[in-house]
């Protein structure tokens, strides 16, 4: 009995000691991780496995590519940058764990992320409380930057692209009437459908069909027959490439001859449905076929490193890494407040156009690429800016 008591008290003492030691340790590290350390750590996260793995992995790979290039060119004032990436599996609570790990264990100075809106919103309050500089390349949900002074966004928001494609449909495609087919289970699709509808109605034009479908819909013939009956000039499909491909197939099968337009979710639709989407238009963050050197250099560098083509999420991740590094350089320190202040003043011309932030932390006046699908490839028609 006595022996047992002895052991347990020894264990208790050891436990207390180890807690104190650990606390001491992390304090000590924090002090040295300031200006004296040789590496600057930046965190990033996104879904690298699971159903939307393609999004996170391309974004993180592109950010890595950018950081490697910067390191080769001397890093930030001679200091190398280390990019630490984690897999959220598109899970919000996993994202919170990762954020805490990045802050406490890895002690990053800033974060590039998250990739999708859900995980970014999950860590939003934490980032605000910590004043952590966070630049999301790809989270399009409006609330991400709302009342969040330290959070910035490198891509345009959904209302912006919805207004852009509506403007293009009216002015350049000469649309007098349009049908909108949207996914009622997805806020991205619903939001875009409403923006497009508003723009059309403001211009005094007619929306002939405003038809919703559910996420697990496969047979679009019923709603497309209704569209055909009303015979509008344009069909707007705000959804991701997988669904767009299915609807485009039904449109072709039923012999509808309308011009079909879409949004950034269309990126990659030509991989499996080139024939069906031929001649259709969509807006995107960048065009693969843009002749500009910066775009082609990014694409060839990505191809050399990973052996596949990047998509728009990659281009945004790549730009976000450069923007963040520019901000750290401009700030002259790794202090959170200084980085946030530098970010709000930055102006950087990247693969996806000029990035500068408004008071909210969103990009303003950003170029939006109008793309036509020609011979199964993206043809850049023009880049427009919407007020």
Partner 1 sequence: MLLIQQLINGLQVGSIYAVIALGYTMVYGIIKLINFAHGEVMMMGAYFAFLAAVAGMPIWAVFLISMVLSAILGMVIERVAYKPLRSAPRISSLITAIAMSLFLQNLALFIFKADPKVMPTIIKNNPVTIGSLQISNITIITFLVSVVFMVILTIFISKTKSGKAMRAVSQDTEAAMLMGINVNSTISLTFAIGSALAALGGILYAIAYTQVMPTMGLLPGLKAFVAAVLGGIGIIPGAMIGGFILGFIETLTKAYISSRWADAIVFGILIVVLSVKPTGILGKNIREKV
Q: By the criterion CB under 8 A, which residues form the site for partner 1?
A: 51, 184, 211-214, 216-219, 221-223, 225-226, 228-229, 242, 245-246, 249, 252-255, 272-273, 275
Whether 385 contacts 367, CB under 8 Å: yes
Provide, rounded to whole angstroms, the least separation between the CB of residue 113 and partner 1.
23
Give 13 or 222: the residue with its C-beta nearer to partner 1.
Answer: 222
CB burial of residue 115 (10 Å; 0-12, 13-18, 19+): buried
List the beta bridge partners of residue 378. 373
Give the span between the Cα atoms of 375 and 278, in whole angstroms: 7
Give 227 or 261: the residue with its C-beta nearer to partner 1.
Answer: 227
Give 189 or 199: the residue with its C-beta nearer to partner 1.
Answer: 189
Q: Please state, as a whole number, how many other Cβ atoms lie within 10 Å of the Cβ of residue 89.
A: 17
Whether 8 contacts 51, CB under 8 Å: no
Q: What are phi and psi of 146, to 5 degrees?
A: -70, 125
Whether 278 contacts 302, CB under 8 Å: no
Cα radius of gyration rounded to whole Å, the chain: 24
Q: Answer positive or negative: Cα dihedral of 355, 359, 365, 367.
A: positive
List the beta bridge partners of residue 80. 39
Give 247 or 369: the residue with its C-beta nearer to partner 1.
Answer: 247
Provide, rounded to whole angstroms, the least separation between the CB of residue 176 and partner 1.
22
Give 169 or 268: the residue with its C-beta nearer to partner 1.
Answer: 268
Give 172 or 184: the residue with its C-beta nearer to partner 1.
Answer: 184
Take residue 8 and report the two structure tokens written for it: 């347990």
228 contacts: CB under 8 Å, gap ≥ 6: 254, 256
Give the span between the Cα atoms of 235 and 178, in whole angstroms: 6
Give 226 or 296: the residue with its C-beta nearer to partner 1.
Answer: 226
Provide, rounded to whole angstroms, the least separation between the CB of residue 268 and partner 1.
12
Provide, rounded to whole angstroms, the least separation between the CB of residue 229 and partner 1.
5
Provide, rounded to whole angstroms, the least separation between the CB of residue 242 and partner 1.
6
Provide, rounded to whole angstroms, the least separation between the CB of residue 155 and partner 1.
24
Provide, rounded to whole angstroms, the least separation between the CB of residue 232 and partner 1.
15
Q: How far is CA 212 from CA 58, 179, 202, in A?
A: 31, 11, 21
DSSP 8-state secondary structure symbol assigned to residue 79: B
């Amino acid at each position: 009995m006595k022996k047992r008591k002895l052991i347990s008290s020894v264990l208790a003492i050891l436990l207390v000691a180890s807690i104190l030691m650990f606390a001491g340790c992390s304090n000590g590290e924090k002090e040295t991780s300031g200006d004296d350390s040789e590496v600057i750590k930046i965190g990033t996260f996104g879904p690298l496995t699971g159903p939307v793995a393609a999004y996170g992995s391309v974004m993180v790979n592109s950010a890595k590519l950018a950081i490697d290039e910067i390191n080769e060119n001397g890093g930030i004032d001679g200091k190398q940058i280390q990019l630490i990436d984690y897999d959220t599996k598109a899970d919000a609570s996993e994202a919170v764990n990762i954020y805490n790990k990045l802050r406490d264990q890895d002690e990053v100075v800033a974060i590039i992320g998250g990739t999708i809106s859900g995980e970014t919103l999950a860590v939003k309050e934490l980032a605000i409380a910590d004043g952590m500089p966070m630049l999301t390349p790809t989270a399009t949900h409006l609330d991400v930057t709302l009342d969040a002074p330290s959070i910035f966004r490198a891509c345009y928001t959904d209302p912006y692209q919805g207004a852009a494609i509506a403007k293009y449909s009216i002015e350049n495609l000469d649309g007098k009437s349009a049908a909108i087919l949207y996914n009622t289970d997805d806020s991205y699709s619903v939001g875009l459908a409403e923006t497009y509808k508003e723009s059309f109605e403001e211009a005094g034009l007619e929306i002939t069909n405003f038809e919703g479908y559910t996420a697990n819909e496969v047979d679009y013939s019923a709603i497309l027959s209704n569209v055909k009956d009303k015979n509008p000039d344009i069909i707007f499909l705000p959804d991701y490439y997988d669904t767009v491909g299915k609807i485009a197939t039904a449109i072709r099968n039923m012999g509808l001859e309308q011009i079909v337009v879409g949004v950034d979710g269309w990126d990659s639709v030509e991989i499996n449905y080139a024939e069906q989407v031929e001649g259709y238009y969509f807006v995107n963050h960048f065009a693969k076929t843009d002749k500009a050197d910066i775009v082609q250099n990014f694409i060839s560098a990505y191809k050399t490193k990973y052996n596949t083509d990047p998509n728009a999420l990659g281009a945004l991740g790549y730009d976000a890494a450069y923007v963040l590094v520019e901000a750290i350089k401009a700030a002259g320190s790794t202090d959170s407040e200084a980085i946030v202040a530098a970010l709000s003043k930055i102006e950087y011309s990247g693969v996806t156009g000029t990035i500068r932030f408004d008071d909210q932390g969103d990009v303003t006046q950003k170029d939006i690429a109008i793309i036509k699908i020609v011979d199964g490839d993206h043809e850049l028609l023009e880049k427009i800016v919407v007020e």
